[in-house]
Structure 1
């Protein structure tokens, strides 16, 4: 129970920080990620991200994404095709607006392990159908997880997490944005973990900070 109390304390700390987001222009993202096996090689990806300009009362973006993936090798080298629905509510000249985007995407994820260091490379191609435009974008993410109190990502393990992701347009300007993220995570059991961290995004020569809280669910849909 002590480990769960620590998780609650960490999450509450990040939530308390996000309460002051309105004063500091610090956003808050609350995220759910599901990656559930439906057979030995196939998996069902599902996620919801609720992104806010502040602690949670001013919606910036709602993102819902799903897809079907296939492992080229056992539990690794996953190729996936999917669809995303994006509702954005940005401020334009001080007024709230609303934009809807439908997004197709294809991605490839490969994982590596060096000692107790877990690496992930994600390559993603997106076809973005906006209300009055069509765009294509490439994304590359390099992620790292390092267990702290165990050598492996076992249940009741605390770990450090970080990633860098770059977004590139197929047209001009090529550079879209870059995200740098750092967090502390806790492995609840073999199929669930939680993370709380901070992400800085560079876009149009502007820096924007985001508090992030994410829950990861890998419960398989198969008996095996």
Structure 2
């Protein structure tokens, strides 16, 4: 635990000094396995894009997943996403998505391949404008426990990922790239925490933009199946 907190503090201070502007990315996730093959997932996010301490974006989402195999998990989800500009609501979004997650393990290293297709409906109250979007995402997330052979109570782990975003009908098609690196700590059978640095590159016709986030998350895993062997998902900023 001391190692995790020390690394987290060092990471945060380093990037606060290195970047002109730091944004906040805070999340709480809940995974509830209610059947050997099915699980529910819910997540809430609060971000400060323009100011670290002032939230100007939030999202609430959830869905149903299915264990096709131990390492193959299709999922369907729905969520609400809200943006604020100058302390007033600027855009609302309703999003539904289908995703497929395929895990590959090599020793203690886990490679998570996530494919997602999203359909979004937007509304901008200031201009009374509505629009739609299709977006396609792929993420490769690499995770490894640092003080054990697998994640369990007391395990410190590291994970890093790269994710690309493709959109339609907007331009440019290659709309976003995310790169994340961080650490996590599994406190007990239910609670885990994670922190790291997330770099987000926005590709826009009017000009590209970089965002630098400090990521903080509380992850809750509940296994209601009474299975003797518990499994833990490595978190990653979504």
Instruction: Tell whether 2:153 aligns with 1:158.
Output: no
Equivalent position of 1:175 in the other structure? 174
Instruction: Tell whether 2:21 aligns with 1:25.
Output: yes
Aligned equivalents of 2:26, 2:161: Cα separation in 1: 17
Aligned equivalents of 1:168, 1:115: Cα separation in 2: 32
Equivalent position of 1:218 in the other structure? 221
Deviation at 1:208, TM superposition (A): 1.4
Cα separation, partners in 2 of 1:15 and 1:50, compared to 1, 3 Å:
farther
Deviations 1:118-167 (A, max 9, x none): 11111111100101101010011100111112222232121111010100
Cα separation, partners in 2 of 1:55 and 1:9, compared to 1, 3 Å:
farther
TM-score (norm 1): 0.86
After TM superposition, the structure 1 = structure 2 runs for residues 95-106 of structure 1, keeping only pairs within 5 Å, are: 96-106=88-98
Instruction: Tell whether 2:116 aligns with 1:120.
Output: no
Deviations 1:169-194 (A, max 9, x none): 12232111000000011122344321
Cα separation, partners in 2 of 1:150 and 1:223, compared to 1, 3 Å:
closer
Deviations 1:33-71 (A, max 9, x none): 222101010100100111113332x22210111001111
After TM superposition, the structure 1 = structure 2 runs for residues 54-73 of structure 1, keeping only pairs within 5 Å, are: 54-56=51-53, 58-73=54-69
Query: Unmatched 5+ residue regions in structure 2?
Result: 124-129, 228-238
Equivalent position of 1:87 in the other structure? 82
State whether residues 67 and 81 of structure 1, in contact with CA within 8 Å, keep that contact through their aligned partners in structure 2.
Answer: yes
Deviation at 1:216, TM superposition (A): 1.7
Equivalent position of 1:76 in the other structure? 71
State whether residues 38 and 67 of structure 2, in contact with CA within 8 Å, keep that contact through their aligned partners in structure 1.
Answer: yes
State whether residues 123 and 140 of structure 1, in contact with CA within 8 Å, keep that contact through their aligned partners in structure 2.
Answer: yes
Deviation at 1:76, TM superposition (A): 2.6
Equivalent position of 2:233 in the other structure? none
- Aligned residues: CA RMSD: 2.3
Cα separation, partners in 2 of 1:151 and 1:77, compared to 1, 3 Å:
same
Query: Unmatched 5+ residue regions in structure 1?
Result: none
Deviations 1:58-109 (A, max 9, x none): 2221011100111111x33111111011011135xxx855211111111111
SS in 1 for 2:67: strand
TM-score (norm 2): 0.81
Number of equivalenced pairs: 214
